[in-house]
Amino acid sequence: MTENHSAERPGLSRRGMLGLAGAAVGAGVVGFGAGVAVDRAVSAGAIGSATTYPFYGEHQAGITTPVQDRLHFAAFDVAPGLDRAGLIELLQDWTTAAARMTQGRPAGTYGPASGPADAPPDDTGEALDLPPGGLTLTFGFGPSLFVDATGADRFGIASRRPAALVDLPHFPGDALVEALTGGDLCVQACSEDPQVAVHAIRNLSRIAFGRAAIRWSQLGFGRTSSTSRSQATPRNLFGFKDGTANIKSEDESVVRDQVWAAAGDGARWMAGGSYLVARKIRMVIETWDRQQLGEQERIVGRDKGEGAPLSGGTEFTEPNFLALAKTGGTKIDPDSHVRLAHPTMNDGAQLLRRGYNFVDGNDELGRLNAGLFFIAFQRDPRTQFIPIQSRLAKNDLMNEYLKHVGSAIFAVPPGAREGSYVGAGLFS
Amino acid sequence: MTENHSAERPGLSRRGMLGLAGAAVGAGVVGFGAGVAVDRAVSAGAIGSATTYPFYGEHQAGITTPVQDRLHFAAFDVAPGLDRAGLIELLQDWTTAAARMTQGRPAGTYGPASGPADAPPDDTGEALDLPPGGLTLTFGFGPSLFVDATGADRFGIASRRPAALVDLPHFPGDALVEALTGGDLCVQACSEDPQVAVHAIRNLSRIAFGRAAIRWSQLGFGRTSSTSRSQATPRNLFGFKDGTANIKSEDESVVRDQVWAAAGDGARWMAGGSYLVARKIRMVIETWDRQQLGEQERIVGRDKGEGAPLSGGTEFTEPNFLALAKTGGTKIDPDSHVRLAHPTMNDGAQLLRRGYNFVDGNDELGRLNAGLFFIAFQRDPRTQFIPIQSRLAKNDLMNEYLKHVGSAIFAVPPGAREGSYVGAGLFS
């Protein structure tokens, strides 16, 4: 079963190989396990399915793909010494490894065929027996890749920065932490199995050794939006269904109009790509939990059990913002989250949300450090995320229970053609 | 479908109710969703199974129970003002909620029947549609519950502290962080679905409001040991199978001799209980990943692909520590992890391990903050964990890649009888 390294796809660059070897000095023992099975059968009791999504294609996977349950997201900064050729080589190496891992294979050949006999294994091994669980790896480019903090055009791509890849403005109430914000590159890893997602980010980080390093990263669970009508609407850590009105992959015309960048939008190399906005939103859940149910529902604008709008009906009934309550005023509060985020309040703008819940331990007062890692894809943040968030940040009743601590924006290029690499259009 | 609160089991204490209400001041809106379904059907696409384990019984669940894939572990400190009656009431409230949640029900009644009309909901809601996924909740008592740091016997239980509940000694290489160490009480929540485990810890923490607060907590995934022969051996973040030689629930005589405390052991109230040692072990994975495969295998004493001992055979072949290598010396290094941890090197002592992998983001150098959250159950730490860890801490080749940053020990009482509460024997 040992895989032949001279396979149909190019292997890692020589630099990638050296990155893996790093400064390793072996202790002189060479004892590779004989016949290590790399594409081994799935172990009994594995929790992920054998589902795979194609890595190559018109669009990158991990956007309209039905949301998997687990996330490991990483923002990277490129190393100071990296040049244009080095950046391209990194993207090529990442493409090679991502195309393998998303198909349930190790990041590289697992065994001595991959390099000198004293090299470390090309794959770290913790996902060897695990099915891919629908693993997708989605790559993006941050504004600082085009022009760095000193104003330098290190990679000769400044003129190709898409106009839609704006620096996000400051929103009212933002409490951003620099170490959780920005990034030159991003990788979103989603799978049904967290160990598979973690394995992918770890191995991509390892391949990038000396060329790019993780700036910040986030694990998430329990997807907070569905992107397909085949999925039930999950709940966020406020206990409410989240994403009822999300863009679904089945809404083809909405996806075309609101998710995918088009050739005529400005940057031709982004046609078929999208723009990703990530926000780390801490929820003040202890305070929220002490609010009475009716107040929670007023803030959200939906009932908690079913997720129906307070104007009546069931989960997928359109809210009626004009419906009057017997006690006076409208049934749905004008400053409720559902109303302010609704397309009719935002010139029809929508987002394809793909966020996750997170719990990062607790703070020194014993409160869970928990919240929502918000991810949204869109065709143009200038007409979608930014105006929607501006409105929410000013008036949303929910703001009392939210703190935005991290923020980033990335241009997510179209999918790679087989034989090419992710983002190739930016360099041609 | 709204549940009748005057049910077969006692509800929360009045104090527990007040804890839930906390300092909440509602905004005057009372609008509970009509007919909220509390035991609602499982949503499509849920990842956990409908498996439930009995909460009441001879032993607490979550010890020999086949290891679920996800963990949320929390250590609590009791509030300064809590007295004996208050501690008992807390344990009663926790028992009531745990018995409900482990059976797939909300922590408390979900709706106005549970209290005053302006009370917050008794359950935070994020697991309302989720199956329990084999949720177990396992409670323990730390040494500081018996005698606090000032030497005070706050709850009148100092004389009942089991001799086996020792303070763990300092081990060579320990780099313990105070904020990740110790605790008066612990709750181990395990489920197939992290959202279910998180929901349980959050609601138990909420019920404890004003009586106990989380001191530290840990999420984990990808169990690092199996406790049943029906489970495949999982891999840790070194990429190796972990727990091949773990105690399995099917080994009844081993479980009886090495896991459960007996009436003759000293503390009669602990008969049928066990002792839990938790260690947060950060792995230096970037350095590990640069070691050649043969060196990794020498350190572990097993091959990476199959998990067989380096003396030959397959995963479950007993290692032969005397087998000689052609190149001189033994095939298995005398200081390898497998040899030093083996029962034959430890007077026959074994542990029932139930640890999890963790990734807590990354450090400022871009390295994943990753490792193993080690959990082991045993009959007596004085003859099991402590001597085994002493030997490993001195000589294990693996130490170069490990850093123990958190540590705790808890007496885990036997299971509660229905109508009673966890730990009742300590107070009778």
CB B222 to CB A195 under 8 A? yes
pLDDT in the model for residue A3: 36
> What pLDDT digit, counting tens, does each position of B331-388 carry?
999 999 999 999 999 999 999 999 999 999 999 889 999 999 999 999 999 999 999 9
Measured between CA atoms, the residue of chain B closest to residue A242 is B126
User: Do residues A164 and A204 both lie within one domain?
Assistant: no
- B contact test, residue of A2, A25, A29 with most B CBs within 10 A: A29
Each residue of A134-183: pLDDT tens digit? 999 999 999 999 999 899 999 999 999 999 999 999 999 999 999 999 99
Q: Is the pLDDT of residue A408 over 60?
A: yes
CA distance A22 to chain B (A): 6
Interface contact B238-A126, CB threshold 8 A: yes
CB-CB under 8 Å, A360 with B361: yes
In this structure, the answer to whether residues A130 and A252 fall within a common structural domain is no
A41 within a domain of the structure (yes/no)? no
The answer to whether residue A36 is domain-embedded is: no
Residue A6 lies in a domain: no
Q: Do B230 and A370 touch (CB under 8 A)?
A: no
CB A138 within 8 A of CB A62: yes
CA-nearest of B393, B423, B353 to B142 is: B423
From A221, A237, A269, give the residue that closes a domain. Answer: A221
Measured distance CA(B279)–CA(B402) in Å, rounded: 11
| Contact residues, chain B, for A67 at CB < 8 Å | none
- Cβ proximity of B356 and B71 under 8 Å: yes
For residue B382, the SS3 value is: coil
Q: For A232, which of B44, B206, B294 is closest by C-beta distance?
A: B44
Pairwise CB contact (< 8 Å): B293 & A126: no
Let me know if residue A95 belongs to a domain: yes
Q: Are residues A175 and A324 in the same domain?
A: yes
Burial class for A1, CB neighbours closer than 10 Å (0-12, 13-18, 19+): exposed
Low-confidence ranges of chain B (pLDDT < 70): 1-12, 14-47, 109-118
Domain boundary among A196, A221, A246: A221
Among chain A residues, CA nearest to B119 = A292
Q: How many domains does chain A have?
A: 2
DSSP bridge partners of A1: none
CA B390 vs CA B172, B173, B230: distances in Å: 8, 10, 32
Co-location of A86 and A207 in the same domain:
yes
Q: At what angle do helices B14-21 and B194-207 cross, to 10 degrees?
A: 110
Sign of CA dihedral A326, A330, A333, A337: positive
State the Rg of chain A over Cα. Answer: 23
Nearest CB to B30: which of A69, A234, A294? A294
Distance of CA A71 to the CA centre of its chain: 7
Distance CA B59, CA B53 (A): 12
A48 in a domain, yes or no?
A: no
pLDDT at site A15:
64
Identify whether A207 is part of a domain: yes
Are residues A108 and A243 both part of a single domain? no
Contact between residue A414 and residue A58 where contact means Cβ atoms under 8 Å apart: yes
Model pLDDT, residue B115: 54
Q: Both A95 and A229 in a single domain? A: no
Biggest CA–CA distance in chain A, Å, is: 82
Residues A290 and A394 in one domain: yes
**Is residue A424 in some structural domain?**
no
CA–CA gap between residue B317 and residue B315 (Å, rounded): 6
Confidence (pLDDT) at A18 = 52
- Please indicate, yes or no, whether residues A322 and A196 belong to a single structural domain of this protein: no
Taking an 8 Å cut-off on Cβ atoms, the answer to whether B365 and A110 are in contact is no
Contacts of A205 in chain B (CB under 8 A): 366, 368
Q: What percent of chain A has pLDDT over 90?
A: 79
pLDDT at A44: 40
What is residue A119's predicted lDDT score, i.e. its pLDDT? 74
Reported as a single tens digit per residue, the pLDDT across A355-366 is: 999 999 999 889
Does A283 map to a domain? yes
Clarify whether residues A282 and A310 are in a common domain.
yes
Q: Are residues A272 and A393 in the same domain?
A: yes
**Residue A91 structural domain:** 61-135+186-221
Instruction: Measure B52 CA to nearest chain A CA, in Å.
Output: 17
Distance CA A101, CA A123 (A): 10
Domain final position from A164, A196, A221:
A221
Of B215, B303, B361, the CB nearest to A366: B215
The answer to whether residues B342 and B388 touch, using CB atoms and an 8 Å cutoff, is no
CB within 8 Å: A125 and B238: yes
CA distances from B327 to A296, A318, B230, B293, B317 (A): 71, 76, 38, 18, 23
- CA distances to B146, B160, B407 from B411, rounded to whole Å, are 11, 12, 14
Of B44, B294, B362, the CB nearest to A217: B362
- ipTM comes to 0.88
Q: What is the pLDDT of residue B14?
A: 63
State the average pLDDT over residues A386-406. 97
Q: Are A151 and A377 in contact (CB under 8 A)?
A: no
Same domain, A289 and A350: yes
Of B167, B372, B201, B161, the C-alpha closest to B284 is B372
Q: Is the same domain home to A357 and A404?
A: yes
The pLDDT value given to residue B333? 97
> In this model, does residue A129 exceed pLDDT 80?
yes
Say how many Å lie between the first and final Cα of chain B, rounded: 39
Contacts of A294 (CB under 8 A, 6+ apart): B26, B29, B30, B31, B32
Helices vs strands, H then E, count in chain B: 9, 9
